[in-house]
Each structure stands twice: as C-alpha cells, then as structure tokens.
C-alpha cells in the first residue's frame, strides 16, 4: 500500500491542483498540506527508495501508531493535532485521506489537463484514481481489522466515500456501505 506514495512530485502536483480547484474547502488545505509535508519530510527517502524491508518497517511503525488512541482535548490546537497524527506519529487513516486527495483530483480534472502529461510520459487519470482508492480501502480494512474507529477513521471513510462515488457512481451500494 505504501508504494502508491513513491512519487513525491506526482503527489505534490495533484495535491496542488486539488487545492487550487477546491480552494481548500473539501479537506482543509492547512491539514492536508501539513500531513503531506510531514509525510515527505520524515519518510520521503523510504517511500521514494521503495525497498521492501524499509517499507515493511515503516508499515509496522504506522501500525503501532494507529493502534494507540490519539490523545487530545479541547485545548488541543490544529498544530498539536497535526503533530499527533503525522510525521513520527503517522497513522493509516491519514494515508487513506492523502490517497483520496490524489484520487479525487485525478477524477475531477479533465483528461486534457496538462497535469496528465508530465515531461516524458502520461498518466491515466482513471488508473491513478483507482490505485489511490485501493490504497484508501486498504487503510479502511487495516483500521476495521483492529476496530480502530475514531475521528480520523470517520474522516477517511467520508473521503473514500466521495472518491468511490466519483469512480462507481453515487448510486453505488459501495458508496453508502460503511460495514461497521
């Protein structure tokens, strides 16, 4: 699942375009950008190298973080919340949400958008969206397996539901099935 985050430049291009289009209204821009910035600053080398043993160790660390409840209260500010859920404290739902940003951006943009034709190649929008949806679904399965139902999980479900709707249609049973 972590392999979908191996191309930082692709991720950042799509994230930038998503926030340009939505003006930060769907997934709050400050939150999404902070999560992705911390993802790349702490784990960028591991993600880009894609070495199985390093990805496995990172996966185990994310599991340990996800299994611990996020401790916050009314005095927790956004900066503290970002610190509690990303970087060294990275969790599966955050990765699922980030995957949804990219997948939804890929489904929202028109196929002639220059973002799909980077120097030296082309990107299939539907395939990219499906890859990101599958990654988000993996994160949901991970959390459900250990009954991790918290605010981040619900946030991830909402974002995945939106991406599912764009891929399968709003009337899709998958679109409304949470399976809790």
Q: For each of the chain's 180 residues, which pLDDT tens digit applies?
A: 899 999 999 999 999 988 988 876 667 889 999 999 999 999 999 999 999 999 999 999 999 999 999 998 999 999 999 999 999 999 999 999 999 999 999 998 887 888 888 766 688 889 999 999 999 999 999 999 999 999 999 999 999 998 998 898 866 655 555 544
Q: What is the pLDDT of residue 116?
A: 85
State whether residue 73 is helix, strand or coil: coil
The Cα 78–Cα 1 span in angstroms is: 27
User: How many Cβ atoms from other residues are within 10 Å of residue 22's Cβ?
Assistant: 16
Token pair of 119 as six digits: 């120097």
Token pair of 1 as six digits: 């699942």
Which pTM does this prediction carry?
0.91
Q: What is the pLDDT of residue 180?
A: 46
Q: What is the pLDDT of residue 168?
A: 86
Q: What is the pLDDT of residue 137?
A: 95
Token pair of 65 as six digits: 């973080």
Q: What is the pLDDT of residue 89?
A: 98
Token pair of 56 as six digits: 């496995």
Cβ(95)–Cβ(5) below 8 Å: yes
Exposed/middle/buried for residue 104 (C-beta within 10 Å: 0-12, 13-18, 19+): buried
Q: What is the pLDDT of residue 171?
A: 64
Exposed/middle/buried for residue 97 (C-beta within 10 Å: 0-12, 13-18, 19+): buried
The Cα 84–Cα 90 span in angstroms is: 8
> CB neighbours of 17 closer than 8 A, spacing ≥ 6?
105, 109, 113, 115
Residue recorded with tokens 């660390």 = 61
Q: What is the pLDDT of residue 105?
A: 92
DSSP state of 70: P
């Amino acid at each position: 699942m972590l392999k979908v985050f191996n191309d930082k430049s692709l991720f950042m291009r799509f994230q930038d375009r998503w926030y340009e289009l939505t003006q930060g209204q769907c997934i709050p821009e400050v939150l999404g950008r902070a999560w992705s910035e911390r993802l790349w600053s702490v784990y960028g080398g591991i993600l880009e190298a894609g070495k199985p043993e390093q990805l496995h160790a990172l996966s185990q660390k994310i599991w340990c973080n996800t299994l611990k409840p996020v401790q916050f209260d009314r005095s927790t500010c956004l900066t503290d919340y970002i610190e509690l859920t990303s970087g060294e404290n990275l969790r599966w739902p955050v990765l699922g949400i980030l995957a949804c940003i990219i997948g939804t951006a890929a489904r929202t943009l028109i196929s002639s958008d220059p973002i799909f034709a980077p120097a030296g190649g082309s990107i299939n929008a539907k395939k990219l969206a499906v890859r990101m949806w599958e990654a988000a679904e993996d994160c949901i399965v991970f959390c459900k397996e250990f009954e991790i139902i918290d605010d981040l999980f619900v946030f991830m479900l909402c974002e995945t539901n939106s991406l599912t709707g764009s891929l399968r249609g709003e009337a899709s049973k998958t679109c409304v099935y949470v399976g809790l």
